[in-house]
Amino acid sequence: MENVSDLQLGKAGEYLVCAELILKGYIAFPSEQGLPYDIVADNKGNLIRIQVKTTEKYRATPQRKHHTPSYLFQCRRCGKGGCHSYKDTDIDIMAFVCLKDKLIGYMPIKNLPMTLHLRSRLHDYGGSKSGRYIEDLTFEEALKGIC
């Protein structure tokens, strides 16, 4: 993904989330600029505010003895330079997008850490199965966490 700006990467992640939700039968659309959320989804008449965090590719998880590929997301930082933090009342769900592998995971905003490392079943972890996998973080499970 050469010569693609951070803004374009973020937009690609937002559109990928919209497409996935629409294909699952939800009504989903991008929000206006300047709001703390990127996407609005309709779930049986309830509007769900979704903030999208996008990464281009996996990287080695720090402080591991062996190379452990994971996707790193800064969950609570927002704004130019990440100098502000999301509040639990700003959004309902955070979507995590890995563009290289076209993977999306979802989590309710409540109790999200500042930084999150997600694994994928696409990668070999040398027998270690512990960790949080992006494939397990479905939109439907995230909805249960906000109801």
Dihedral angle sign, alpha carbons of residues 100, 105, 111, 117 = negative
More confident residue, 69 or 62: 69
Q: Would the pLDDT of 57 be above 80?
A: no
Check residue 3 and give its pLDDT.
Answer: 79
pLDDT, averaged across the chain: 85
Check residue 80 and give its pLDDT.
Answer: 58
Q: What are phi and psi of 30, to 5 degrees?
A: -65, 145
Count of beta carbons in the 10 Å neighbourhood of residue 127: 5
Q: Which two structure tokens, joined as six digits, stand for 91?
A: 């959004």
* Full 3-state SS string of the chain: CCCCCHHHHHHHHHHHHHHHHHHCCCEEEECCCCCCCCEEEEECCEEEEEEEEEECCCEECCCCCCCCEEEEEECCEECHHHCEECCCCCCCEEEEEECCCCEEEEEECCCCCCEEEEECCCCCCCCCCCCCEHHHCCHHHHHHCCC
Check residue 61 and give its pLDDT.
Answer: 62
Q: Would the pLDDT of 63 be above 70?
A: no
pLDDT, tens digit, for every residue of 17-32?
A: 999 999 999 999 999 9
Provide the phi-psi class of 81: left if phi over 0, else alpha when psi is between -120 and 50, else beta.
Answer: left
pLDDT, tens digit, for every residue of 94-129?
A: 999 999 889 999 999 987 888 888 888 887 766 666
pTM of the model: 0.86
Domains of the chain listed by start with CATH number:
6-144 (3.40.1350.10)
The DSSP bridge pattern shows strands 27-30 and 39-43 to be antiparallel
Rg (CA), the chain: 15
Contact 118, 137 (CB under 8 A): yes
Percent of the chain with pLDDT over 90: 48
Picking from 116, 90, 101, the residue whose alpha carbon sits closest to that of residue 31 is: 90
Give the least confident one: 88-92, 104-108, 140-144: 88-92
Check residue 71 and give its pLDDT.
Answer: 78
